[in-house]
Structure 1
Amino acid sequence: MADYMKPVALLLLLLNMCMYIILAVIGGWAVNIAVERGFIIGPDLRLPAHFHPIFFPIGNFATGFFVVFSLIAGVFGIASGIVGFTHLHFWNYHSLQPAATFSLLAWGLTVLAMGLACQEISFDRRNAKLGTMEAFTIVLTVTQFFYVLAIHSGSQGAVPVERRGNFA
């Protein structure tokens, strides 16, 4: 495998891992706020007219979906980082497959969360920590994509061990 891409992949992996951890921590904070400050409905009370299925007292109507998908993307990103460290340790064809799979899943979920972040930005009325979460999600979409490209370009010319050798 092309060893010149290994340092680039390591740098992107460390950056993404730190950012995904921060994304998951802020997402956990937002879920905690929603649980603590959510609606309390008594037996004889009705739901408010603008009740949202995923209600967050901070932010706007897109916040609930954005936080949930960002939290899921953060967990997949952390898993992608763990598998990515294993791939960087071995740096062979067999470790590439799980690393590529997890990184592509994490990138796809991050793109979904980025779309919701853009929707939330367009609505205004949001918390400063949610603004940080939106910025991290948008930056992670780009850096995770470059990480996927780095591990795939590092695998150019990689052939499984079973196919090497003399076929005569």
Structure 2
Amino acid sequence: MGSSGAKPATFFFLFVNLVLYLIITIIASWLVNHGIQDSLEQASVLSIPARIFPIYYPFGNMATAYVVIFSLLAGVVGFTTSLTGMSHAAQWNASDLYAASASSLITWSFTLLAMGFACKEIDIGWSGSTLRVLEVALNIVYGTQLLGMIAIHAGIEELSRYRGGIV
């Protein structure tokens, strides 16, 4: 099959993303649980706009709920995509790499959305240490997901060259 330089890079980035998305999912799940437990008594004294969102966070600011919910969504989708992407990359044929490419693009979009809310939370003001860890993990996984997508596309290009342009 020739030199397969993109395959080890793809596995590396998918494994790093798997670990990072697992960390994001764990932290965001803990934050959702913490928010649900404290919301009944804490949110009852808030004004109407703040009471509309069902989860109130006594830490952070008004963007915290959005960061946590979208981080949880990005973490679950990213973990699943990284796990299935490793399976697709193990096959290393065009159809599996196209499936990995499409799912990694969707995951990157969710991660970009969560990172955008995290940047807004940073812009608004103060956040606790757990939220800072979540924000840093989102910023790191945004870059590694992008590099993983590039590695998958390099693998598709490599297969295309190896088979004479027929994928």
TM-score (norm 1): 0.86
Which residue identity does 1:112 align to in structure 2?
Answer: L
Count of aligned positions: 159
Q: Would you say 1:98 and 2:99 are equivalent positions?
A: yes
Distance 2:112 2:69 in 1: 13
How far is 1:63 from its partner? 0.4
Q: Which residue of 1 aligns with 2:61?
A: 60
Q: Percent identity?
A: 33
Structure 1 stretches of 4+ moved >3 Å: none
Task: Give me the whole-angstrom Cα distance separating, in 2, the residues matched to 1:128 and 1:50.
Answer: 26
For residues 1-20 of structure 1, what are the structure 2 equivalents within 5 Å? 3-20=4-21
Is 2:161 the partner of 1:143?
Answer: no
Deviation digits for residues 24-60 of structure 1, max 9, x if unmatched?
A: 000000000111000349xxx7752552524222211
Query: Normalised by the size of structure 2, how large is the TM-score?
Result: 0.86
Which structure dedicates a bigger proportion of its chain to helix? 2
Identify which range, 47-56 or 120-129, moves more after superposition.
Answer: 47-56
Q: Is the 8 A contact 2:36 2:56 kept in 1?
A: no
The Cα RMSD (Å) is 2.2
Q: Which protein is bigger by CA-based radius of gyration?
A: 1
Say whether the 8 Å CA contact 2:97–2:155 is kept in structure 1: no
CA contact 1:76–1:102 (8 Å) conserved in 2 = no
- Structure 1 unaligned regions, length at least 5: none
Question: Structure 2 unaligned runs (5+)?
Answer: none
Per the alignment, residue 129 of structure 2 pairs with 128
